[in-house]
Amino acid sequence: MLRAFLKWTALFFLVIESLGLIASFLDLYLKLAHWNEALSRRSWGETTLELTLRLAIVGLILSTYLHLRKVSQLSLTITRQSALQTTRAAQSALLAAIALYALTAERITGNIDREPFLSAWSVSAYALGTVITSLFLRRRFLLLANEELRRDPHNEKGLSRWRMATIVSMALAMSIGLYGFMLRMMGYARTVEWPFFFVSVALLLLWRPHLDDGTSSPPNPFSNQTNAKS
């Protein structure tokens, strides 16, 4: 039931964001048709960035839906394939969320007109603490899961622990992007906001699900990959 709900939820958001993408293409067409007037109202760079972000969102949500569709066709018992497809769906969904935060932030204008409740340095300290916490959780729980899977690659407890540790660490990585979005909401410039998005995306790509290479203890907590094959 939960698998079906997640699959249809992803499909719903895919339809919604696809409509937004179509609207962006129509907006671009109108600007091309009246480019002299359009250039004075809004820069082409902003239009291109919005279209790029919407394309990324639709593509990532489509990837999430396809992974969840594969999971819904598997047995309810957790297997290596279902664990891998679930975590890959989570990764695509979290990347889509970051792109959506960036798109929303780009629509927010204005500068700081008063002293913000939190400074950019304070938020950066919180973000650094989140990364350290993620590394600790990965080193503690992911290594335990890898040890169990090294003894038995199809151990359900080990697969469940690996799936949980991977999704939690990726969710914490995504939260770095939320810090950037929060700074933009407080009125900070894009140059302050976007580094948080870049770090968030980099960690999500670095910590991508890679179960086939995850059956022995990785020496580096920054990566899911190891040197031993299952």
Statement: residue 226 has pLDDT above 60: no
- Mean pLDDT, the chain, integer: 83
pLDDT digits (tens, 9 = 90+) for 137-185: 888 888 889 888 888 888 899 999 999 999 999 999 999 999 999 888 8
pLDDT digits (tens, 9 = 90+) for 106-138: 877 655 555 565 688 889 999 999 999 999 988
**Between these two residues, 110 and 61, which has the higher pLDDT value?**
61
- First-residue to last-residue Cα distance in the chain: 31
Statement: residue 37 has pLDDT above 80: no
**Between these two residues, 96 and 230, which has the higher pLDDT value?**
96
Could you state, in order of their start, the residue ranges of all structural domains in the chain? 114-230
pLDDT digits (tens, 9 = 90+) for 154-165: 889 999 999 999
DSSP notation for 118-180: S-HHHHHHHHHHHHHHHHHHIIIIIHHHHHHHHH-TT-HHHHHHHHHHHHHHHHHHHHHHHHH
